[in-house]
Chain A
C-alpha cells in the first residue's frame, strides 16, 4: 500500500464542503480493460446543483468514469449510485428510466447526421418523453434552439453547421428533455478559444437556468475556470486532488501544477 499523497490531504481540507443532496455517489470504483487497469480506486460524491469538473490527461479514465455513471460500462468493483440507486444492479428498463434523467453531451456532439436540426431535437421528445402533440413539440424545439442561438439553423443538416454550432446543438438536444444531471465529455475540444469560451459560458448559463447537476470532463483550463464549482484531478486512474479551481491552481504540488 502506497501512502496517500500529501497534496490530496491538504487540498481536500482546504475545500469548502459542498452541501445538498448527493445525487452521484462513487466509492472504490475499479474498471479494467484486459490487463489495463483504467480506474484504480475512484471516490466521488456529486451534490445536487453542483458543477464538478474532472481534469486529467488523455487515457486517465475520465470518460470511463462517466460511462459507468450512465450504465454504458459496468464497473469491476466498487459502489456507484445515482439518485440513490445502484447503477450496476439495474435491469434494462430501470436503466432506460435512469437515462431519461441524465443527459450526456458527447465530444463530437453526436448529432444524427441523416436528420435536420429540428428532427434531431424532436427525436428525444417523441421517443423518450413520448410527446405526441406537435404544437408542444414545436414550441419546445423552438424555445430550446432560441436559447442556444440556433433558431435560424433549425432546418439545416448537421453537416452544414460549424463546430461551435454543432456543440450548441448537441447541448440543446441534451437539455430538451430537461435532465437532472448532465455529463459533458470534453465539450470544448476542437474549438477555437473564443468559441470554447462561448460554449463554457453557455454551459454555465444553462446550468443556472435549468438547475442541473453536472460532471464536466475537460482538458480546457478556461472551461474549467468558468464552469467549475469544484475541480477533481485524475491521474492514472485515480483522483489525486480536489478543490476549487483557484485552490488547485495555486497549489505548490508539482504534479497538480502541471495540469494548469
Chain B
C-alpha cells in the first residue's frame, strides 16, 4: 500500500511546487509594469457582469429557502421576530460569500481552465511566449486580478439579494415592512460580521482565478486535457474555498470575537 501511495504523494508535492513557482511568476509580473488594462477591464466584464444573473438567482433562492427552513423552528421557540437577524448573520457571514464563491468556482474557474487549456493545446500560449510577448502578464495577471476584484463585489450583491429572498419568504406567511426588515437585518450586523466575510471573498476570488489559470496554463497536449483542466480547476478551487473559509473563520474568531 505504502509503495502504491508514494507516486501519488510525489505528484502531489510536485504540483504543490509548481504552484509555488506559478505564484511567484504571478507576483513578479504584477509588479513588473506594462499592466494590460484593457484586457483586465474585459475580464472584469466577462467574469463579473456575465456572472451577475447566475449569482443573483442562486442568492435569491438561497435566502428564500433559508428563511422558509428557519421559520418553523424559530416559531416553535417563540422567536419568530429573530428571523431577520438570524438570516442577516448567516447570509452575510457564511452563506452569501461561500455560495457565491462556489458558483464562481463552477462558472469562472472552469471557464478560465478550459480557455487557457485550449490555448495551450492549440499552441497559442507558446506563440505568445516565443514571439517575445508576455503570456503571464496578458493571460494570468489580468484574470487573477479580475476574479480577486469581482468575486467580493458579486458576494456583496449576493448578500443583498439573499436578504431580499428572505424578505419575500417572510412576507409569504406573515407581514413585515421592507424598512423594518432591513432595519432589523442591519441592526444585527456588526463590524466583526462584515469585515472577515468581505476579506475571505477577496481570498476566494484570488483562489478561483489562480487555480483556473494554473490548471489551464499547465494542461497537457491533447483535447482531453482541456476537459481535465476545467474539471480539476473546479474541484481544486472549491476545495480551496472551504479551506480558506475555515482558516479565516478561525482567525477572525480569535482576533475579533474574543
Contact = CB atoms under 8 A, between A and B. Distances in A.
Contact of A100 (B124, B127, B129, B132): B132
A110 B135 CA distance: 14
Contact of B133 (A102, A114, A127, A174): A127
Interface of A: 70, 72, 96-97, 99-100, 102-104, 106-108, 110-114, 123-124, 127-128, 174, 177
Interface of B: 115, 118-119, 122-124, 126-134, 138
Contacts of A112: 119, 124, 127-128
A110 B132 CA distance: 15
Contacts of B128: 112, 123
A72 B123 CA distance: 12
B123 A106 contact: yes
A178 to B, nearest CB: 12
B238 to A, nearest CB: 26
B130 A113 contact: no
Given A96-B134, A100-B132, A107-B123, 7 more contacts: A123-B128, A123-B133, A124-B131, A127-B132, A128-B131, A174-B131, A177-B132
A44 to B, nearest CB: 20
A108 B132 contact: no
Contacts of A102: 130
Contacts of A114: 115
B136 to A, nearest CB: 11
A106 B124 CA distance: 9
Contacts of B126: 72, 106, 110
Contacts of B138: 127
B122 A113 contact: yes
B133 A110 contact: no
Contacts of A123: 128, 131, 133
Contacts of B124: 110-113
Given A110-B122, A113-B122, A127-B138, A104 B127 contact: yes
B146 to A, nearest CB: 15
A97 B131 contact: no
B115 to A, nearest CB: 8
Nearest to B134: A127
A127 B137 CA distance: 10
A99 B132 contact: yes
A239 B127 CA distance: 27
Residue of B115, B118, B132, B133 most packed against chain A (CB within 10 A): B132
B85 to A, nearest CB: 47
A147 to B, nearest CB: 19
A177 B131 CA distance: 9
Contacts of A72: 126, 129-130
Given A108-B122, A113-B122, A127-B138, A97 B127 contact: no
